[in-house]
C-alpha cells in the first residue's frame, strides 16, 4: 500500500495538542503506511511532542506556526489575517501536494473559507459540503449532508450535494446503488419549503440517481435512505440534537434496583455504536483534495477516527470520483 501523508492542524478544537498529539501517536503506531505533517505553536506543541516521542520520529515532520485560528474568529478575518496559522499552513501543504489529506478540529467557517481559497472546489461544484456518517438501526451507516458548511442553500446546491453524497456512499460505504433522500418536515410532495420542493423535482428528474423522495427527522437512523440531503442549518441542528440524545442515553448512571442496573448495562452495550466519537469526522467534500473536520470537543480516539475517515477517502480517490460523476452527469441547469 503506498505511503500517504496527512497534514494535521494540531491547535484546532477545544483542547489542542493534548488531544491531537496522542491521536497522532496512535496513527503512527497503527498505520505504518502513514506519514504526518504537524502544524502548531512551538511553545504549546513541543512539550506534547516530547512527551509522546514524536519530536524525532522518522515519519513526522513538524512545522511551527506563529498563529492559530480561534473558535470566535470570523471566516473573513481568518482568511485575510491568519495566514501563518496552523490551519492555513496545513491546508497550504495539502494544496501544494506535500500532503494527501488535511484534518482539523478548528473553526468550521474558517476551515471552509481557507479550504476553498487554497485547495479550491472541483470543476462544476459551487460549494463544498460537510458530510458525516449516521449509524442505522439494522447496522451500517447513512450519510448526512450538509451539516454546517452552508447555512442556506438553493435547490441547485442541494442537487449538487446529492451527487457528491452518492459518490461517497458508493466509494467509502460500498453501497452499489445508494438511495438518496431529502430531509423534510413531511413525506408528502407538497410539504416543506419552496427550495426543498424544487430540489425534489430536480432530483426526481436526474438519470441514474436512486432518489427516494423525502424523509423526516425521525427516519435519520431507520435505514430509509443511504444519503440524506439538507442545508447546513438543518443538518447541523439534526446532527447535534442526535449526538446529545446519544450521549444522554450512554451517560445514564447505574443506580436503584438490581433490575435497573442490569437494564442500564444492557442498554449501554446495545447503544455503544451511537457514541459520536466512533463516527467523528465530517468531510468537506467537493474540494480537489480531502479535508476532514473533526468535532471541536472530540477526544483523542475521536480525532484518530477523523484521520481514518480521511485516509479512506484518499485510498478510494473520492475527489476524482466526484469529479468524474459531475463530468458524466446530464447537463441539466440544476446540476451545472
Q: What is the pLDDT of residues 165-222, one digit of tens each?
A: 999 999 999 999 999 999 999 888 888 899 999 999 999 999 889 999 999 988 988 8
CA nearest to 196, candidates 134, 132, 153, 150: 153
Under the banding of pLDDT at 50, 70 and 90, the label for residue 272 is very low
159 and 193 in one domain?
yes
pLDDT at residue 254 is higher than 80: no
CB 282 within 8 A of CB 148: yes
- Is the predicted pLDDT of residue 244 greater than 80, yes or no? no
Q: What mean pLDDT do residues 258-286 have?
A: 60
Domain count, the chain: 2
Distance of CA 125 to the CA centre of its chain: 18
Q: Are residues 190 and 220 in the same domain?
A: yes
- Polymer length in residues for the chain: 336
* Span 57-75, average pLDDT: 96
Q: What is the pTM of this model?
A: 0.86
pLDDT at 264 over 60: no
Average confidence score pLDDT of the chain: 88
**Taking residues 141-152, what's their average pLDDT?**
91
CATH of residue 50: 3.40.718.10
Q: Residue 319: CB partners within 8 Å, gap ≥ 6?
A: 122, 285, 287, 288, 289, 290, 313
Q: Do residues 160 and 190 share a domain?
A: yes
Q: CA-CA distance, 290 to 317, in Å (whole number)?
A: 9
- Does residue 114 belong to any structural domain of this protein? yes
Q: How many CB atoms lie within 10 A of CB 258?
A: 7
Same domain, 192 and 270: yes
Q: Which three cell numbers stand for residue 252?
A: 445514564
Within-domain flag for 335? no
Q: Where are the beta strands (DSSP E) in the chain?
A: 4-9, 34-41, 60-65, 101-104, 129-135, 141-145, 179-183, 210-215, 227-229, 282-285, 290-293
Within a domain: residue 327? no
Taking the C-alpha atoms of 322, 327, 332 and 336 in order, what is their torsion angle to the nearest 10 degrees?
Answer: 70
User: Which residues span the domain enclosing 57?
Assistant: 4-125+277-320
Amino acid at each position: 500500500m503506498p505511503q500517504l501523508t496527512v497534514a494535521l492542524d494540531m491547535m484546532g478544537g477545544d483542547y489542542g495538542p493534548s488531544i491531537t498529539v496522542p491521536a497522532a501517536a496512535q496513527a503512527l503506531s497503527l498505520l505504518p503506511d502513514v506519514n504526518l505533517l504537524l502544524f502548531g505553536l512551538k511553545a504549546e506543541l513541543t512539550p506534547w511532542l516530547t512527551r509522546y516521542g514524536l519530536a524525532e520520529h522518522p515519519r513526522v515532520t513538524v512545522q511551527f506556526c506563529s498563529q492559530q485560528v480561534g473558535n470566535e474568529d470570523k471566516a473573513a478575518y481568518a482568511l485575510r489575517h491568519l495566514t501563518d496559522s496552523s490551519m492555513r499552513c496545513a491546508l497550504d501543504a495539502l494544496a501544494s501536494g506535500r500532503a494527501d489529506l488535511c484534518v482539523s478540529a478548528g473553526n468550521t467557517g474558517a476551515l471552509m473559507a481557507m479550504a476553498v481559497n487554497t485547495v479550491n472546489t472541483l470543476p462544476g461544484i459551487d460549494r463544498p459540503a460537510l458530510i458525516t456518517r449516521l449509524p442505522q438501526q439494522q447496522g451500517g451507516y447513512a450519510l448526512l449532508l450538509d451539516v454546517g458548511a452552508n447555512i442556506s442553500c438553493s435547490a441547485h446546491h442541494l442537487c449538487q450535494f446529492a451527487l457528491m453524497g452518492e459518490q461517497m456512499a458508493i466509494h467509502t460505504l460500498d453501497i452499489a446503488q445508494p438511495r438518496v433522500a431529502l430531509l423534510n418536515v413531511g413525506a408528502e410532495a407538497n410539504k416543506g419549503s419552496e427550495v426543498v420542493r424544487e430540489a425534489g423535482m430536480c432530483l426526481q428528474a436526474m438519470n441514474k440517481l436512486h432518489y427516494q423522495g423525502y424523509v423526516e427527522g425521525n427516519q435519520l437512523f431507520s435505514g430509509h435512505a443511504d444519503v440524506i440531503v439538507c442545508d447546513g442549518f438543518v443538518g447541523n441542528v439534526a446532527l447535534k440534537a442526535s449526538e446529545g440524545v446519544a450521549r444522554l442515553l450512554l451517560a445514564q448512571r447505574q443506580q436503584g434496583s438490581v433490575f435497573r442496573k442490569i437494564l442500564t448495562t444492557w442498554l449501554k452495550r446495545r447503544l455503544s455504536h451511537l457514541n459520536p466519537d466512533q463516527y467523528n469526522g465530517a468531510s468537506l467534500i467537493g474540494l480537489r483534495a480531502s479535508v476532514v473536520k473533526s468535532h471541536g470537543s472530540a477526544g483523542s480516539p475521536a480525532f484518530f477516527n477523523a484521520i481514518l475517515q480521511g485516509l479512506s477517502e484518499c485510498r478510494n480517490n473520492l475527489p476524482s470520483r466526484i469529479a468524474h460523476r459531475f463530468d458524466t452527469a446530464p447537463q441539466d441547469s440544476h446540476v451545472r
